[in-house]
Structure 1
Amino acid sequence: MPNRAGGYELRDDKTFKGTIAPKDISLIAGEANNAPHCIFEGFMDFPFPSHDERKRNCSCLVLNSVSNLPRAIAYLHEKGIDSVQAFLR
């Protein structure tokens, strides 16, 4: 999955987790313009079927690491977004 800084988040189906630097948040645009933003901790959390309807309507932000939380907050502040739906495990 590409991230905002031009890097990639890499995972296999078992144990490998890696990044092609630089590390950053990933953004996925939703279909609805005024829908809330949904935040996921990692992109492996993003594709769960129970979230499919929310993902289509929401613009989604994937942290890719909890250490990226300050970047996510800065992005949300920069865009004037003051309300989100968080799906953190």
Structure 2
Amino acid sequence: MNLAIDATELQPLVREVVAEVVREMALLGGSTDRLAYPEAEAAGLLGIRGHQLRDARHRGEIVATKVGGRIGYERSELIAYLARNRS
């Protein structure tokens, strides 16, 4: 069976996969010195917008910590969230 795929149709999928791999590598290979990431930075690492991460936190899909009035996300929680939301 031969499957004909136009390169222009495949390119967006390849870009999406590469972007996801880069995000995961950044999370897994990042500095382990940090205890938590601020909400905006955590959202960026996940490839989503800050309000989307906030909404996920409000729905109980991800756990955050509040210290000194600021929301932070532990590295392990970001990795777990990423793993749970793979498509």
* Structure with the higher strand share, 1 or 2: 1
> Is the structural similarity TM-score above 0.5?
no
TM-score (structure 2 length as normaliser): 0.29
* Structure with the higher helix share, 1 or 2: 2
